[in-house]
């Protein structure tokens, strides 16, 4: 995957897993009569357990959707946009590539989120629970004919991006591009499916209001 941006920011808004617990009803003694037990409270729907870190300098977001075409995983859509104080908002969409182009963005952080479509999720695909195993990034050096393969793991995560976070339902992963450079990044998304792990590789092109390779 290729990310062309100032710095890639995927954000995956996630939150807190709430588990409702019913408290046993107290027994009241009235001669030989016992009060009936209270009906257990319904459990609330699970919410994401982990929240991706955001910043007060965030200016925009980018989103990528992964779906199915027949039995094959595809990038169904990608879109990004930013807003500038007093200058309005802009957005753009690139279909079926997974690439993120932030080269036209002004300076500022961008939240990036990759989400599994209902079709892929329903077919049994899930993101790994560890964000560093769900997404990997690597700089694509200018003029290098062969792009490097991103390596998964926290020790290989570039400093230009905040830590990735996976939602509790393993349907999305988000991270923030700090827009601190103008590099092009290869990125890989790993999915666990019915036949094992699958890795998809698009790009991120950073910008910052200046020309990029």
Answer yes or no: are the C-beta atoms of 50 and 129 closer than 8 Å. no
Taking phi over 0 as left and psi of -120 to 50 as alpha, with beta for the rest, 168 belongs to alpha
Q: Which fold has domain 2-16+45-206?
A: Immunoglobulin-like (2.60.40)
* Pairing status of strand 109-116 against strand 58-69: parallel
User: For the residues 142-149, what does the mean pLDDT come to?
Assistant: 76
Give the residue with greater pLDDT, 12 vs 58: 58
Which backbone phi and psi does 59 adopt, to 5 degrees?
Answer: -110, -15
Q: Which among 1, 18, 129 has a CA at the least distance from the CA of 73? A: 1
The confidence score (pLDDT) of residue 87 equals: 67
Give the residue with greater pLDDT, 207 vs 28: 207
Residue 60, pLDDT above cutoff 80: yes
Contacts of 71-75 with CB under 8 Å at 24 or more apart are: 73/120, 73/125, 73/191, 73/193, 73/198, 73/200, 75/200, 75/202
Residue 19, pLDDT above cutoff 60: no
- Residues in CB range of 79: below 8 A, 6 or more apart: 62, 63, 91, 92, 93, 94
The confidence score (pLDDT) of residue 191 equals: 96
Give the residue with greater pLDDT, 135 vs 28: 135
The confidence score (pLDDT) of residue 167 equals: 98
Give the residue with greater pLDDT, 112 vs 90: 112
User: For the residues 200-207, what does the mean pLDDT come to?
Assistant: 68
What's the mean per-residue pLDDT of the chain? 72
Domain boundaries, the chain: 2-16+45-206
Residue 210, pLDDT above cutoff 70: no
Entry pTM: 0.69
The confidence score (pLDDT) of residue 199 equals: 92
User: For the residues 93-109, what does the mean pLDDT come to?
Assistant: 73
Residue 23, pLDDT above cutoff 70: no
């Amino acid at each position: 995957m290729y990310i062309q941006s100032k710095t890639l920011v995927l954000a995956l808004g996630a939150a807190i897993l709430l588990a409702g617990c019913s408290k046993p009803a107290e027994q009241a003694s009235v001669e030989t009569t016992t009060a009936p037990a209270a009906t257990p409270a319904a459990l609330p729907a699970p919410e994401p357990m982990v929240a991706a870190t955001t910043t007060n300098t965030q200016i925009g977001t980018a989103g990528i959707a992964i779906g199915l075409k027949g039995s094959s995983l595809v990038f169904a859509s990608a879109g990004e946009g930013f807003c500038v104080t007093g200058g309005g908002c802009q957005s753009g969409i690139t279909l079926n590539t997974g690439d993120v182009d932030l080269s036209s963005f002004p300076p500022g952080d961008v939240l990036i989120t990759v989400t599994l479509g209902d079709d892929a999720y329903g077919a049994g695909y899930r993101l790994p629970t560890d964000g560093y195993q769900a997404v990997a990034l690597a700089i694509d050096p200018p003029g290098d004919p062969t792009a490097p393969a991103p390596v998964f793991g926290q020790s290989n995560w570039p400093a230009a991006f905040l830590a990735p976070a996976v939602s509790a339902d393993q349907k999305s992963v988000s991270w923030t591009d700090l827009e601190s450079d103008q590099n092009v990044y290869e990125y890989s998304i790993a999915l666990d499916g019915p036949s094992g792990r699958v890795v998809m590789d698009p790009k991120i092109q950073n910008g910052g209001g200046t020309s990029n390779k």
